[in-house]
Chain A
Amino acid sequence: MTHLKKYWPLHLMVLPSLLFLIAFSYLPMGGIVMAFQNFKPRLGITGSEWVGLDNFRFLFEREDSIQVIWNTLLIAMLKIIFNLIAPFTFAIFLNEVRKELFKRYVQTMVYLPHFLSWVLLGGILLNVLSTDGGFVNRILESVGFDAIPFLMDGSWFRFTVVASDIWKEFGYGAIVFLAALSNVNPSLYEAAEVDGASRLKQTLHITIPAMLPITIVVGTLALGNVLNAGFDQIFNLYNPLVYDSGDILDTFVYRTGIIGGNMGFATAIGLFKSVISMVLIFISYRAAYKWANYRIF
């Protein structure tokens, strides 16, 4: 009681957020039981037939869902790797620019795509990557190449998804690296200069080591995304022609569950994804805390 007397304002402040979390985060978690049912909306959660782990068995037996898991892993891993390498490299090169104005101009341009939604970028990409006179293919053809079916051919589709994601995110991703570099004590470079170290040597022994701690943090935290291949992007870029190589868990859940009405199965896929992601996130945060003393909460 004395606790409440002293702390009630603090409890009251969290209360509104808590109610929203209960309604829109914790209540849906109760729906997870559908993963163990042959769920029929008509019968509801109490009336639907229990099927044990059947839905999960389907997930690993059906050819299409195995392909979907593989697509998800492949696309997500490629994104994780290149979304680390690209901003890292970009930050090193931008760090060599001495003219502040030019530096700021480049930053302004490369951060921009991050803030545009995949609906708009999808609309733009469908247009410029089209084989039917799209801007990019017109350029390719004018220098003597064949038009490339970026969005119409399975293997090109994966390439397009990964490449366009890097295009959208590398600038924004570089911010944390540039922040790390702005904390480097200039006297380190001056001392290296006096010792006659070339700029390349300085980059190898000062610039890159300065970025390593944050690289470890970013890389580790990205582990939680191993099953996140990017719903917004793929949903807005794919078409039935490339389902074989471009369909991922999230798009598959939407098509099976919401469109196809196979709700129990779709819930099971979602649960599979959620559980694995959660475990990975906890592991990665622990690791980031241990290795780089990083904590978020």
Chain B
Amino acid sequence: MYHKTLSYRVFTVFNTIGLLLLSIACIVPLIHVLAVSFSAKSAADANLVSLLPVDFTTEAYKKTIDNPLFLHSIWVSVKRTVIGTALTLLLAFLAAYPLSKENSEFKGRSVYAWLFIFAMVFNGGLVPFYIVMQKLHLIGSFWALVLPGAVNIYLTILMMNFFRAVPKELQEAAMIDGAGHFRTLFAIFLPVSTPAIATLGLFSIVFHWNSWFDGLLYTTNSHQFPLATFLQTVIITRDLSSMSLDPTSLALISQKTVNAAQIFIGAMPVLLVYPFLQRFFVKGLVLGSVKE
């Protein structure tokens, strides 16, 4: 038995330690930020904080929550996440059904499939896209954050592959009973699709919550920013000119501890859905690749 040999036992010890260090390396930066966010401003500015808060205080969170722009950006993010995810799920659910048919069952399927594939692998690029958004009068509109990404081709494919795994007998039985395609979709497919819908929903929620570039491109002032875009301008670009803030709020925004608190609040929703994510996303990945 190899488990009992000395060399394998030595290996196991080193392997365990190595993996333990690796796992810590993946979350240490987050712990550091959490520690900074709960530290006193003076300690953070003097770089005294490592993995535990120094002079524990919730001051940074109070200041963060006092900032109306920050709160408003959370509201925009929640709105886009809820509406965007609902729309994406509906569109993917509807389109996946005809796409899951064989080419022989649904003439025309291959044309649609190619239109989806081509849109996935080729795009007009940033500038033409921006011009189209202008022409559609979406610049400065909330819908600029929701409509362009409404069809998520990758998620539609996941759904399609899930539908393909639904037993054919179920569909045939429904058809024999005289149900049309819409009846079949909503009465037969919908109830068995809950795991797939949960998987897609979680992917979409994370996608929307994390999206920041559209908020930067298609908004006209900082009151339209979703949280990710707000954080991008405040923490990364430090572009405070667009914020139209008075000097006191400006000083507040550039604080290390406040930045840390904002980063942590930004990560919180993802951390909260993470346990569910983990359960579903492995399934989602497996769905994504049909092996014959």
A residues contacting B by CB (< 8 A) are 3, 7, 9-11, 13-14, 16-18, 20-21, 23-32, 34, 41, 90, 93-94, 96-98, 102, 105-113, 115-117, 119-128, 132-135, 138, 167, 171, 175-176, 179, 193, 198-199, 202, 217, 224, 231-232, 235-236, 250, 253-254, 257-258, 263, 266-267, 269-271, 273-275, 277-278, 281-282, 293-297
Contacts and interface: CB of A to CB of B under 8 A. Distances in A.
B27 interface: yes
B119 A26 contact: yes
A105 B32 contact: no
Given A112-B274, A167-B26, A258 B119 contact: no
Sorted nearest first, the 3 A-B pairs with minimum C-beta distance are A31-B128, A270-B125, A133-B47
B143 to A, nearest CB: 12
B56 interface: no
A171 B11 CA distance: 21
Interface residues of B, number: 100
B80 to A, nearest CB: 14
Nearest to A295: B290
Nearest to A293: B292
Nearest to A275: B122
Contacts of A297: 113, 116-117, 157, 160
B282 to A, nearest CB: 6
Given A135-B32, A270-B125, A296-B290, 10 more contacts: A10-B97, A10-B108, A25-B119, A26-B119, A28-B128, A135-B29, A171-B26, A179-B282, A199-B11, A270-B126
A23 B8 CA distance: 60
Given A105-B23, A266-B127, A21 B115 contact: yes
Interface in B83-141: 90-92, 94-95, 97-99, 101, 106-109, 112-113, 115-117, 119, 121-132, 136
A126 B235 CA distance: 9
Contacts of B18: 93
A277 B121 contact: yes
Provide the main secondary structure of the chain A interface. helix
Contact of B33 (A34, A124, A275): A124
B89 to A, nearest CB: 12
A111 B129 contact: no
A109 B123 contact: no
Contact of B180 (A9, A14, A31): A9
A253 B123 CA distance: 14
A7 B181 CA distance: 9
Nearest to A39: B127
Interface stretch (B66-74, B148-156, B192-200, B245-253): B148-156
21 contacts: A10-B97, A10-B106, A10-B181, A13-B98, A14-B94, A16-B91, A28-B124, A31-B125, A93-B19, A102-B16, A112-B274, A116-B270, A119-B231, A119-B266, A133-B47, A138-B50, A257-B130, A270-B124, A274-B124, A297-B157, A297-B160
Nearest to B27: A109
Contact of B236 (A105, A119, A133, A266): A119
Interface stretch (B57-65, B166-174, B256-264): B256-264
Contact of B112 (A14, A16, A107, A108): A14
B185 interface: yes
Given A10-B97, A25-B119, A119-B212, A108 B278 contact: yes
Contacts of A277: 121-122
A130 B67 CA distance: 27
Contacts, number: 269
B126 A257 contact: yes
Contacts of B157: 296-297
Interface in B39-60: 46-47, 50
A186 to B, nearest CB: 14
A261 to B, nearest CB: 10
A135 to B, nearest CB: 5
Contacts of B130: 257-258
Contacts of A97: 15-16, 19
Given A11-B108, A31-B132, A282-B121, A17 B185 contact: no
B20 to A, nearest CB: 8
Contacts of A108: 278
A280 B275 CA distance: 36
Given A18-B115, A29-B123, A116-B270, A96 B33 contact: no
A125 B181 contact: no
Contact of A125 (B11, B29, B106, B107): B29
A257 B98 CA distance: 39
A10 B259 contact: no
